[in-house]
Structure 1
């Protein structure tokens, strides 16, 4: 019998928020500025609203399978083959998520810290702790996210220290070009808000399932506040004409911090931020192994996890990606993430409601 290890509401909340913030945090201000100028921060509020609406649909959907994942729910209402197809789709989706996290992290490490190290070597080093944590399930991942959040509380104060160089007038006037640029930028917020879909597989592990929606709203709100804070800081530090020229303005702004005992503050920051990066690929690799095991009808998730870790290292050894490739993968995830985490819950919720109405609430 498969053991379900409980996940607390705090761990659930922080796991989703850390997943969302992990890789999108560094480039979001640049992307918003390129599409909507200094009014781009308004799109974050719309992204929060859409993520909250999708969270409502997700929780209502999973209430139909309180003791099972989305795969059990699909098997119940659509059949075993539909659940197999769903497992393959989720496997591919979270494998791309993990690959995206490894790619961005390794490229940034190579650019800022270890320029002479091969990318596949960096990925191999990152995969060792990933396997150790992911093999123990969502409870271990939740504890990891919980600890990491508390030891990261100093980061906001580091960015607040750069406000002595802030120019508030860069933000004015608000809506200088009207609502159209802001509304057209909302589509960019799908990628930074990805992570709410974890509830598809986390729901049966929750201790207090009745508080799942509250936890998701809090998680989305935390993510929104982090995004708003760092975006406004970057918008007030860099001029509207130059912010688009920085690939990682969140890192570049740290150069303004001067400490007598550290020459380059951004270097230890990047090294520390690797922990935040890992919050996307650790749960993603766990979900890849879960769906792989479901697809093959076996419960040896640890073996599947080891094989997928090996496959990722081999993929980076064969093909070494660039920042252009990372941008392309981000664009793909922006579209597929909208389908998987925003549109799919609504469609499945409608389908389940219709089927239950037709069957009179009886199970097949």
Structure 2
């Protein structure tokens, strides 16, 4: 594994591991998961030199953090734990956003218990709460840093102005947003602001929710009830157009003796040394395939072909439905 810096004195593995698919999500999100295999996947990733592990309170809710806590027990000194807060939820699932100072503290205390740690390495606001000034939210997060409960702060899917306002209150170590060969909008205003401010970038869904792995060749490959059947980019009218990106990635992969997933991740790594993607996995075999991308170097010709196949704005369909999209870039 290779390593990168997300900011001053914050070194992590060049690829982190997204733990969301491992527990508490259900078969409607990336298929069935096995808790024991999830724990084995995390522990194998640690053995491979992966240090950054990403979870969230809302994943489950709650049980995903518990799984990660179990997996890293006895290995705490080898991992960087990132978790997220900011949603309201009940027994029926998510009910809205809540980044009030009281909820920031409640969420942190709960995450610490579930993870079984004394300090969260990277604490993200999961989505911006339009009803709470970002200064109030980050101020509450900063107090957790002062108390030793959190080491570094992050934001997820925040807009450029929000990032600037947040960084004026307390240093922001990382911003998380979707970024991949088929989702490049962050190149417009988000990445330039992060680089101006010295903030690291953590792309989630770097494999296009599985599309860029090349394993999904038709919509029929998705299990019944899988939420991706309602994803605009997986729709009947867009699927074939977007498959052209995978065809180019597969051609490049074949030339390197690699997988399309490794090509997609290597492309992201080539976009800057301040970028640390977090591909999700729930099995050791897919995690191992993804992490091998850290050793793959694409040629200038490879990058040119991918740029031609997947220009910014060239993907067919929006990345989310209207409701989910309305919660981004606030």
Compare relative contact order (CA 8 Å, sep 6+) and give the higher one, 1 or 2: 1
More helix by share: 1
State the TM-score bracket (shorter-chain normalisation).
Answer: under 0.3
TM-score normalized by the length of structure 1: 0.26
Higher strand share: 2
